[in-house]
Structure 1
């Protein structure tokens, strides 16, 4: 879309405000709104100034001036504002016009550029399956003398005896019993459909929605794949709509990986493939799961670099409450066709040559999508470049339920890091694949590690309520 097209869109839709947005290191969006009457062609060329020192992980106060440069391909009308508002995603530049090396969106674009210069293909396609919970109430605190959290949902199994409904209506979702039931057990059909309606109006192509496995309102909505940066933009749009539709219904939505103990967590399974023009590069009839050698090497790169990669795809302390051996999350660093217990799964049901892809199942939605997708692509490209054979390195294929293996057999399988600190250690030791072509910089990685170690330390030094049960009577 040209700048003139955007200006015409503003006029035709009586837009009052233009909302310029950027994304910080954690993946949270920030925005500044300008009156539509003040937005001209020069605005898209010169950008919108903001204070980078007020954004965690960006710049110091002595060099705080930064610029949002709008991307006209990313616009959509905000479905929630009372005053007609157009949303525009932006890249971050320094005042002298240079790309800012800590801008996640620019890193995603550099990864796409590197793919083309590497001579492998012309485009990488991504499709995340981002799960979330819809709760009715959330409360939490962490102070000097108190630490607690509490969430509630009218459909949760622990509410079979709740009286606040004015007569309990039953039909609660059993623990780990929420996968695709019909109403009235699934009480959130309409809210998910409303989310999908607004996503469609905002430009997403919705493929399906359903209730997920956990009790208390776990959900999933799938949208159509696209190229790397566009998919990251779409995921930001997706999360914005999910959060705000839930709010309109008097509920609250979270993409936190593990908000409930003892039930399934929320992952973000990421489907990915590479094309050269219209030719899919991951398909070869007769190969394992009809995968090409290029795809096998891409898998090799993902699994070989997985410990470091996970610092970017699962970058929260809560991520590792989900990534626990023996539970539902795929912690086993192996690949397999159709097997959901493997970290890398190759879908085989109703797959065409153009639909041939690999699915990395370990990530979750605390990831910044621009950084996570870029890192996955760089790991896969390193595997292709170095012809990393995952079978020779002991990564499978494993075409059986890994959870049912004996303890001796499980010892042969590598697992993901057990904590955020371990993942950051791995990234510190293995980052060169990310800095190929200047996609990520060493300075960016060091800054990211420092930021995340601060989060890990903040959690580690705080007193956990469960410790009172373990140790109070010592």
Structure 2
């Protein structure tokens, strides 16, 4: 939509308030609200001021003033707020009017512009499969004298034989048998349909919804692919709607990658392809029906994967997914059909336009603007430098011996390791000024100080079980 069309929408829908939203640096959506009469055509150029020093990883107190500039193409009538229109915003410096380097959405815009400048492609399509858990109840806390968490789900295997909140006992989902169960075992069918329909009403194209493998409420609602910026915008909308529909049903949704021990975690599998002049660049006669260009793109992603993990798997909890036997990749390999590889080439459709590969490592705790921009930059580097991804792995990784697996590089074992890899390997991200040294340095500093070190300092509940009687 244009600014005029947004204002017409406000009149037609009797909008009273406008919610201005943006993504902070670590990846949490923020907002503030103005009366609709404050929104004019000039607002889409002039923006609205806010205090950026209160945002994590952004401005110092002596240079705190920044602008949010609403983007009319992101406008939607909010399904949860009364008479409210919501828009995603870009961040600008109020003096120079330049786009802010640490605005994640700006990074994504620059990544798309850099791709176009190379002449390699004009569209990078991403199709995200975002997994999440919906729990009935959640409690957690951490302070000087205690640390605990407790989650509960009527369909969780640990509730077999019980009847919490009147739930019919005996239909709980067995361990690792949560994929496609029928009601009454699947207690979340109507909730997921509510999510799917709300997303569609808000302009997000959806391909389907289903229960996922884990017990205790693991779900997936699949979005249709789109360009990098559009998909990242839609992922913000997606997480907002999932959490609020769950809350409306009296439940709690989380995109935390590994909330349950000894069960599957939640990923953000990214289906990726490059296009030019409305034609795919990935269809060919090579391995898995891919083109040479697509093979090199895989090579770039696998070569830079340890550094990519710092953006794609950006929490300490992310690395608890990468355990053998739980479907998350543990080796940096690629394969035709094999879901245990870091990159999988789907085979369910032979159409050239469907040719793509799936990067299975990311999770939905990531900042999607930064994560997908980094993946695109790695793929472009692979194409520019003709990086060979090595031999594919067409066997079940979990059936191979340790000696056979030693030839394949492993995924990073912790966020600390990924951040070190990013520190040593980020030149490919700096091209076209997409990421800057300041963005990289701030990201590493923030994650090391506020997450890695914070966790390192605190006793873990399992340490009491192992060491209290030492």
TM-score between both structures, scaled by the size of structure 1:
0.97
Matches within 5 A, 1:314-463: 314-391=313-390, 396-454=391-449, 455-463=451-459
- Show CA shifts across 1:327-375 (max 9, x none): 3211210010111000001111124111110110000011100000000
Gaps in structure 2 of 5+ consecutive residues = none
Structure 1 SS opposite 2:332: strand
Following the alignment from structure 1 to structure 2, what is the Cα–Cα distance between the partners of residues 110 and 242?
29
Structure 2 SS opposite 1:342: coil
Q: Report if the CA contact (8 A) 2:257-2:365 is conserved.
A: yes
Following the alignment from structure 1 to structure 2, what is the Cα–Cα distance between the partners of residues 442 and 301?
21
Following the alignment from structure 2 to structure 1, what is the Cα–Cα distance between the partners of residues 9 and 457?
51
Question: Would you say 1:35 and 2:31 are equivalent positions?
Answer: no
Q: Report if the CA contact (8 A) 1:176-1:213 is conserved.
A: yes
Shift of 1:161: 3.1
Structure 2 SS opposite 1:398: coil
Structure 1 SS opposite 2:53: helix
Structure 2 SS opposite 1:473: coil
Structure 2 SS opposite 1:150: strand
- Show CA shifts across 1:204-253 (max 9, x none): 11101000000010000001111000000001101000000000000000
Following the alignment from structure 1 to structure 2, what is the Cα–Cα distance between the partners of residues 336 and 437?
31
Instruction: Specify the alignment match of 2:154 in structure 1.
Output: 154
Q: Report if the CA contact (8 A) 1:123-1:274 is conserved.
A: yes
Shift of 1:165: 3.6
Instruction: Specify the alignment match of 2:21 in structure 1.
Output: 21
Q: Report if the CA contact (8 A) 1:307-1:426 is conserved.
A: yes
- Show CA shifts across 1:289-320 (max 9, x none): 11001000000000000000000000000001
Matches within 5 A, 1:41-440: 41-81=41-81, 83-96=82-95, 97-166=97-166, 168-284=168-284, 286-391=285-390, 396-440=391-435
Q: Report if the CA contact (8 A) 2:154-2:167 is conserved.
A: no
Following the alignment from structure 2 to structure 1, what is the Cα–Cα distance between the partners of residues 369 and 38?
30
Specify whether residues 433 and 182 from structure 1 end up closer, same or farther in structure 2 by C-alpha distance, changes over 3 A only: same
Q: CA RMSD in A?
A: 1.0
Question: Would you say 1:464 and 2:460 are equivalent positions?
Answer: yes
Shift of 1:166: 4.6
Following the alignment from structure 1 to structure 2, what is the Cα–Cα distance between the partners of residues 216 and 59?
41
Shift of 1:108: 0.2
Shift of 1:168: 4.7
Structure 2 SS opposite 1:99: coil
Following the alignment from structure 1 to structure 2, what is the Cα–Cα distance between the partners of residues 168 and 456?
42
Following the alignment from structure 1 to structure 2, what is the Cα–Cα distance between the partners of residues 325 and 180?
22
Q: Report if the CA contact (8 A) 1:75-1:86 is conserved.
A: yes
Shift of 1:167: 7.5
Following the alignment from structure 1 to structure 2, what is the Cα–Cα distance between the partners of residues 325 and 362?
14
- Report the more deviating stretch, 165-174 or 266-275: 165-174
Following the alignment from structure 1 to structure 2, what is the Cα–Cα distance between the partners of residues 164 and 218?
18
Following the alignment from structure 2 to structure 1, what is the Cα–Cα distance between the partners of residues 291 and 438?
36
Following the alignment from structure 1 to structure 2, what is the Cα–Cα distance between the partners of residues 139 and 64?
35
Q: Report if the CA contact (8 A) 1:26-1:366 is conserved.
A: no
Following the alignment from structure 2 to structure 1, what is the Cα–Cα distance between the partners of residues 442 and 334?
32
Specify whether residues 351 and 223 from structure 1 end up closer, same or farther in structure 2 by C-alpha distance, changes over 3 A only: farther
Q: Report if the CA contact (8 A) 2:267-2:362 is conserved.
A: yes
Q: Report if the CA contact (8 A) 2:154-2:164 is conserved.
A: no
Gaps in structure 1 of 5+ consecutive residues = none
Shift of 1:460: 1.0
Shift of 1:424: 0.2
Shift of 1:326: 4.6
Following the alignment from structure 1 to structure 2, what is the Cα–Cα distance between the partners of residues 226 and 263?
31
Structure 2 SS opposite 1:114: helix
Specify whether residues 470 and 353 from structure 1 end up closer, same or farther in structure 2 by C-alpha distance, changes over 3 A only: same
Following the alignment from structure 1 to structure 2, what is the Cα–Cα distance between the partners of residues 163 and 8?
51
Q: Report if the CA contact (8 A) 1:273-1:356 is conserved.
A: yes
Following the alignment from structure 1 to structure 2, what is the Cα–Cα distance between the partners of residues 168 and 79?
32
Following the alignment from structure 2 to structure 1, what is the Cα–Cα distance between the partners of residues 404 and 347?
26
